[in-house]
């Protein structure tokens, strides 16, 4: 919140600015034993909706909500009893089918789909920052 507030005077005039916040799916599903973390993620998503309206003349504001990322450790720290909550949105996500010998197949056992990778999240952020996404 303080970073966005500090950046406002430096945003360009004319809607060409981009602000991309990074959150994760757990803000939506409510991961066990993580009240403060989930609360901060949900607050970030709510604030981004307000900033999108308040800063509309200067910037596009988005949130990229990342799922269980294999190469960041998020999947490993998720309690296995939470898989039943994460699995439905993942199973409805395009391209979430586990690719044999490419993806970490352990995720299929619990989540019924492949975990995400950092590079995939980076690609979404890059696309969101492009002029075409305005």
> In the chain, where are the structural domains located?
15-133
Q: What is the residue-level pLDDT of the chain in tens, covering all 134 positions?
A: 999 999 999 999 888 999 999 988 777 777 777 788 889 999 999 999 999 999 999 999 999 988 767 776 666 666 667 666 766 666 666 667 777 766 666 666 666 667 677 888 899 999 999 988 87
The whole-number pLDDT of residue 104 equals 61
Token pair 């993942």: residue: 90
Q: What is the pTM of this model?
A: 0.77
Calculate Rg over the CA atoms of the chain.
Answer: 17
11 phi/psi in degrees, rounded to 5: -70, 140
Architecture of the 15-133 domain: 3-Layer(aba) Sandwich (3.40)
27 and 45 Cβ atoms separated by less than 8 Å? yes
């Amino acid at each position: 919140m303080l970073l966005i507030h500090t950046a406002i005077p430096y945003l360009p005039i004319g809607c060409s600015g981009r602000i991309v916040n990074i959150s994760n799916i757990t803000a939506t599903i409510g991961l066990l034993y993580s009240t403060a973390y989930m609360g901060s993620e949900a607050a970030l998503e709510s604030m981004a909706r307000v900033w999108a309206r308040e800063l509309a003349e200067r910037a596009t504001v988005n949130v990229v909500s990342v799922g269980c990322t294999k190469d960041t450790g998020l999947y490993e720290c998720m309690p296995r009893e939470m898989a039943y909550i994460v699995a439905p949105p993942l199973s409805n996500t395009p391209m979430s089918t586990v690719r044999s010998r490419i993806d970490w197949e352990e995720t299929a056992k619990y989540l019924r789909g492949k975990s995400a990778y950092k590079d995939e999240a980076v690609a979404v952020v890059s696309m969101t920052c492009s002029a075409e996404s305005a």
